[in-house]
Structure 1
């Protein structure tokens, strides 16, 4: 059985609240899970201690059993110091398009011309 440590959404519309759960990867997001490991409330301030709560001993247990955390949960674990910080790739979505690159080149050329004239 392939295990995941992931978020299960709760709360009403536009007021999300998540449970950090250990579940079988074949189960639906908000479906059956094996154990609740903590909570995540994205509506609280980022520096609030109540924003992410986890039972780190149980998380360590599930990681030792081979459970794979999702990307968001991995970030929580990295912040808690349970997991080493992973290097993430900067996807191509973050790069500007062809037209934006051309405009930036034009601006750079125009800025370089007056600097050379002085």
Structure 2
């Protein structure tokens, strides 16, 4: 089964997560098929906290990939953030 999940990176006490498409049998930080975004929970100032390539996520969901619960929440946040600036303009 193909899943879209977080792969941890960064140093100790400074997490950084890549949002990746991977085979569910692979290790959390192991081999992946495609990187579709990132999440930086400790971003501050002008640093970007979340980026998701919505078109690629939609493609993978269309071919049967499952979202992890955390990634589902992050994708929802990214959609809301993408719609909010467009509505304000």
**TM-score normalised to structure 1 length:** 0.62
In the comparison of the two structures, how many residue pairs are matched? 79
Structure 2 stretches lacking a partner, 5+ long: 81-89
CA RMSD of aligned residues (A): 1.7
Query: Hey, what's the Cα distance between the residues in 1 that align with 2:11 and 2:79?
Result: 31
Higher strand share: 2
Corresponding residue for 2:32?
Answer: 33
Cα-to-partner distance string for 1:53-109 (whole Å, 9 max, x where unaligned): 011110100010111110110001222338xxxxxxxxxxxxxxxxxxxxxxxxxxx
TM-score (norm 2): 0.82
The DSSP-based 3-state class of the residue aligned with 2:6 is strand
1:14–1:23 CA distance, 2 compared to 1 (3 A): same
2-structure distance, mates of 1:64, 1:15: 33
Structure label with greater radius of gyration: 1
Looking at both structures, which has the greater relative contact order when contacts are Cα pairs under 8 Å and sequence separation is at least 6?
2
